[in-house]
Amino acid sequence: MKDNVIKLKRPELRRYLVPINTASTQQLFADCLVIGTGVAGLRAAIEAAGSGCEVIIVCKKNLQDSNTWNAQGGIASVLGRNDSFASHIEDTLKTGCGICDRQTVEQVVKDGPGLVKELLDWGTEFDKSQDGSISITLEGGHSFARVAHALGDSTGKAIVQALIHKVKNTANITVVENFYAIDIITNDDGVCIGTIGQNARGVMEIIWGKTTILATGGAGRVYRETTNPDVATADGLAMAARAGAVLRDMEFMQFHPTTLYIAGASRALITETLRGEGAILRDVNGDAFMAGYHKDAELAPRDIVSRAILAQMLKTNSTHVFLDIRHFDKVFFSKRFPLISELVASFDIDVSKDLIPVRPSAHYMVGGVKTDRLAHTNIKNLFACGEVASTCLHGANRLGSNSLLEGLVFGRIAGREAFKQSGKPNSDMGLRKFRYDIPQSDRSRLDTADVLNSLRSLMWRNVGIIRFAKPLAETQEIISFWQRYVLDKIFDSDQGWECQNMLTVCLMMAKAAETRTESRGTHFRDDFPQTDDAKFKAHIEFE
């Protein structure tokens, strides 16, 4: 370990997933290319364009398909009268279990109120208290109510709508939907010069960027159980790794304690702010169990609540536990949580009489592409922000509702830095013509849909909430086997590329989890339940 870093070798990877021939590929040009339209990407695009860049922002599906859009609880910021920056900073550091970067935490927390105010000015409909101030609530790990919410439990949607409105009213931003960014392109000097992807017409297209901002979001879909939308398939992490970016803290996947559990229905987040407003966790026997696990009971940190739920499921031999909000005022509930209200009603759950079945699922990739405090990656002209980035704000565990805030802060920084870089006279991209060929594979072709299903189950079983050495090692063997038959192929559609990306990233997640023989934050090793500061108060990096 050097400088609190444990270095692992990045797996050997084919440089690009698809053959490239610039002579026969259609091309677009931007000063600043942004990949991803969650809060970080949109905020980055606005900043870069506001500074004078011609910006192209692309997303894999539609503007609504992001983790941000689905965010329910809210955005954490110091807005309450008794609250303080010092308290928000301490809560973030404590939840991060010793490996946050204090300077980053301080910057993010202090920028919070101004950026929330800016969102308000741009039209985000934050819910208000009777005195007209922004209404705030509690979440686990927060010492004060500081989670601002909008449209009840549709905070992400309200924020994205305001940012999209701003983007669409900014002349020098072009939005391209249904563009699957397959790879980041680098020149012979390893400098990032844009992306190759498939556009909405199914045609390969290169977008050259003097600078590129990666804001592709997370990787929840690598797990069978997840709160994440279909698009969260680790694409940005994998393409960054192929381009030579350093990936950090990949063992830290945050599991959200409460996902609606109805067999056969797709999993849906049940926001933590429901517990912030007084919801109680009960097991199948009706017993409230959280006080037996932590002094903060329902509002303990997420990793503790998730493990407590699993333990209680095991004890009671059940597939789930329940959230009890029978004591809530019906009108308050439907006004404060309209989305969940509609969701549970669609399954005929009457919350005044019935309990809501829930269990934990994969929620947020804490690790990601390593950046410095100015959103620079180790690849020149490539920046990263939002969930795909590892800024060291979260350390080993993310404090609830800190991610929308991080997206705003680092989106703004990335946009500003990209502008500075795009404006430099020597920032010519240096390469506009090249060819990359891939030989045809003669190995058997696996059924990618089948591999994906098996991979998600494998990750859930072996790289999930509770981990052991042997299954982690086996996981790597199984993934390596699949990789031999999948990574050597050339695909021409999303499912194949997603499968390649997920296999690439999952191997690193399992390897990092095997390497960290201790428990810290979201990473819990049943065979090493203690935190080992002497060996592991450190980051694991693939380079």
The footprint of ligand SIN on this chain (CB under 6 A) covers a number of residues equal to 10
Contact between 519 and 531 under an 8 Å Cβ cutoff? The reply is yes
Instruction: Identify the CA nearest to 175 among candidates 149, 152, 207, 204.
Output: 207
Residue type, 304: I
From the CB of 364, what's the least distance to ligand SIN, in Å? 6
From the CB of 96, what's the least distance to ligand SIN, in Å? 14
Estimate the share of the chain in helix, then strand, then coil, as percent rounded to the nearest 5: 35, 20, 45
DSSP code string of 157-185: HHHHHHHHHHHHT-TTEEEE-S-EEEEEE
Residue 302 a catalytic site member = yes
From the CB of 73, what's the least distance to ligand SIN, in Å? 3
From the CB of 150, what's the least distance to ligand SIN, in Å? 12
The one catalytic residue in 146, 242, 267, 302 is 302
Region near ligand SIN per CB under 6 A, out of 39-47, 400-408, 449-457, 513-521: 400-408
Using CB under 6 A, pick the residue from 47, 54, 272, 541 that binds ligand SIN: 272
Site string for ligand SIN, 62-91 (x = CB under 6 A): ---------xxx------------------
Using CB under 6 A, pick the residue from 135, 161, 271, 462 that binds ligand SIN: 271
Contact between 145 and 136 under an 8 Å Cβ cutoff? The reply is yes
Residues 6+ apart with CB under 8 A from 39: 68, 156, 159, 160, 163, 386, 404, 407, 408, 411
Give the nearer residue to ligand SIN in terms of CB position, either 137 or 377: 137
Using CB under 6 A, pick the residue from 51, 95, 233, 403 that binds ligand SIN: 403
What φ, ψ does residue 369 adopt, rounded to 5°?
-75, 125
Give the nearer residue to ligand SIN in terms of CB position, either 72 or 195: 72
Helix (H) or strand (E) run with residue 359 in it = strand 356-365
Helix (H) or strand (E) run with residue 541 in it = strand 539-542
Alpha-carbon distances, residue 496 vs 126, 243, 366, 522 (angstroms): 40, 19, 25, 30
Give the nearer residue to ligand SIN in terms of CB position, either 340 or 509: 340
Using CB under 6 A, pick the residue from 400, 411, 415, 464 that binds ligand SIN: 400
Minimal CB distance residue for ligand SIN: 73
Contact between 290 and 307 under an 8 Å Cβ cutoff? The reply is no
Give the nearer residue to ligand SIN in terms of CB position, either 279 or 479: 279
From the CB of 256, what's the least distance to ligand SIN, in Å? 6
Site string for ligand SIN, 355-394 (x = CB under 6 A): ---------x------------------------------
Termini Cα distance of the chain: 14
At 418, is the secondary structure helix, strand, or coil?
Answer: helix
Instruction: Identify the CA nearest to 135 among candidates 122, 153, 123.
Output: 153
Using CB under 6 A, pick the residue from 92, 211, 273, 390 that binds ligand SIN: 273
How many CA within 13 A on the CB side of residue 438?
16
From the CB of 182, what's the least distance to ligand SIN, in Å? 29
Give the nearer residue to ligand SIN in terms of CB position, either 323 or 510: 323
Give the nearer residue to ligand SIN in terms of CB position, either 73 or 152: 73
Contact between 163 and 69 under an 8 Å Cβ cutoff? The reply is no
Alpha-carbon distances, residue 417 vs 44, 47, 212, 385 (angstroms): 10, 9, 11, 12
Give the nearer residue to ligand SIN in terms of CB position, either 154 or 421: 154
Give the nearer residue to ligand SIN in terms of CB position, either 71 or 159: 71
From the CB of 279, what's the least distance to ligand SIN, in Å? 11
Q: What is the CA radius of gyration of the chain?
A: 22
Region near ligand SIN per CB under 6 A, out of 14-22, 265-273, 488-496, 499-507: 265-273
Residue type, 8: L
From the CB of 308, what's the least distance to ligand SIN, in Å? 16
Q: Is 306 in the site for ligand SIN (CB under 6 A)?
A: no
Residues 6+ apart with CB under 8 A from 435: 19, 20, 21, 22, 23
From the CB of 272, what's the least distance to ligand SIN, in Å? 3
Which residue in the block uniquely carries the two structure tokens 């954490």?
Answer: 76
Helix (H) or strand (E) run with residue 35 in it = strand 26-35
Contact between 195 and 35 under an 8 Å Cβ cutoff? The reply is yes
As a residue count, the chain comes to 543
Residue 440 DSSP class: P
From the CB of 429, what's the least distance to ligand SIN, in Å? 37
Site string for ligand SIN, 14-53 (x = CB under 6 A): ----------------------------------------
Using CB under 6 A, pick the residue from 124, 401, 421, 462 that binds ligand SIN: 401
Region near ligand SIN per CB under 6 A, out of 25-33, 317-325, 395-403, 472-480: 395-403
Give the nearer residue to ligand SIN in terms of CB position, either 155 or 195: 155
Residues catalogued as catalytic: 302
Binding site for ligand SIN (CB under 6 A): 71-73, 271-273, 364, 400-401, 403
